[in-house]
């Protein structure tokens, strides 16, 4: 069962049906694309040495709406050049 790699994020796959539109996304395989994601999660977790595992997933609240698109099968996908929003700053501002 996937859960979001962002520590404070309470999104879990077990209850995502209650939250409309939340999807989980694996980290890009391409290191150039993956690096900004890893950096953003390190900031979120405040763990400078954090590395994603093969099963690491991040949920869709950490992206901007325009970074998503629907695949032909109707799955929510992330655009290749999408970057994570640093949600720590949003959190500090108060959700
Ligand atoms: Zn999350």
Question: What is residue 16's predicted lDDT score, i.e. its pLDDT?
Answer: 45
Look-up of token digits 């962002």: 6
Range of the domain at 80: 22-93
pLDDT at residue 7, as a whole number: 81
What spacing in Å lies between the alpha carbon of 62 and ligand 1's midpoint?
6
Total domains in the fold of the chain: 1
Beta carbons of 43 and 86 less than 8 angstroms apart = yes
Give residue 27's pLDDT: 94
Q: Within a domain: residue 81? A: yes
Q: Give residue-wise pLDDT tens across range 53-67.
A: 989 999 888 898 899
User: How many A from CA of 88 to the centre of ligand 1?
Assistant: 11
Interval between CA 58 and ligand 1 midpoint (Å): 5
- Which segments in the chain show pLDDT lower than 50? 15-17, 94-95
Other C-beta atoms closer than 10 Å to the C-beta of 19 total: 13
Q: Is residue 14 part of a domain?
A: no
Q: The whole model's pTM is what?
A: 0.77
Q: Is residue 16 part of a domain?
A: no
pLDDT at 35: 92
């Amino acid at each position: 069962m996937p859960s979001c790699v962002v520590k404070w994020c309470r999104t879990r796959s077990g209850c995502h049906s209650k939250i409309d539109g939340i999807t989980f996304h694996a980290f890009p395989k391409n290191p150039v694309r993956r690096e900004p994601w890893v950096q953003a999660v390190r900031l979120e977790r405040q763990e400078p040495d954090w590395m994603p595992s093969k099963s690491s997933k991040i949920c869709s609240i950490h992206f901007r709406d325009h970074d998503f698109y629907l695949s032909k099968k109707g799955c929510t996908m992330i655009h290749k050049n999408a970057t994570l929003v640093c949600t720590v700053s949003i959190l500090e501002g108060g959700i």
